[in-house]
Amino acid sequence: METVFLAVIVALIVFVIIVINIFNSLVTLKNAVKNAWAQIDTQLKRRYDLIPNLIECVKGYMEHEKNTFELVVKARSEAMAVKDDIKARSEAENALSGTLKNLFALSENYPELKANQNFLSLQEELASTENKISFARTAYNDAVMMYSNKKEQFPSNIVALLFNFKDYGYFEINENEKEAIKVSF
């Protein structure tokens, strides 16, 4: 009788250790997702800060492109307004990227602007920031994939369900972002 009791206690301890280990790995992966999102957020903030400077720089040269400026400013405001919804945030960021691409495509028609050192510097900073956003997006999506895999695998899925670990969405680009911008005059 005593050995059965001891075996049950040992099995229970092993079970608790396994659950704790799974729980801790889920927490680690969840925090990796949050950290990756924070990296995206940092780069998006940098982009938001660059846009007003870019608009001011090109305004004097592109006097007839007021509609484009308004679209960029509106897309920036909408992107900044979305906080917790990953899908809505990625859609807003995709719209902002599209308006910025249109702005740069239009700038090709203004040789004086293309020669302006301030514009070139801002364009380079924005391109660098876009690359950093792309890398951060990739890191975030990788972290979400690892977390989701762990959360959906047995027996982790049981622990995730018991402790109510939530799902995280991927930060995806829309189909329009995959195509090059076509500008015609």
Query: How confident is the model over 58-87, as pLDDT tens digits?
Result: 877 777 777 888 889 999 999 999 887 888
pLDDT above 60: residue 148: yes
List Cα–Cα distances, 121 to 96, 110, 117, 126, in angstroms: 20, 16, 6, 9
Report the length, in residues, of the chain: 185
When the candidates are 1.20.1440.20, 3.20.20.80, 1.10.3720.10, 2.40.40.20, the CATH number that belongs to 30-178 is 1.20.1440.20
162 touches 138 (CB < 8 A): no
Instruction: Give the residue-averaged pLDDT of 97-124.
Output: 84
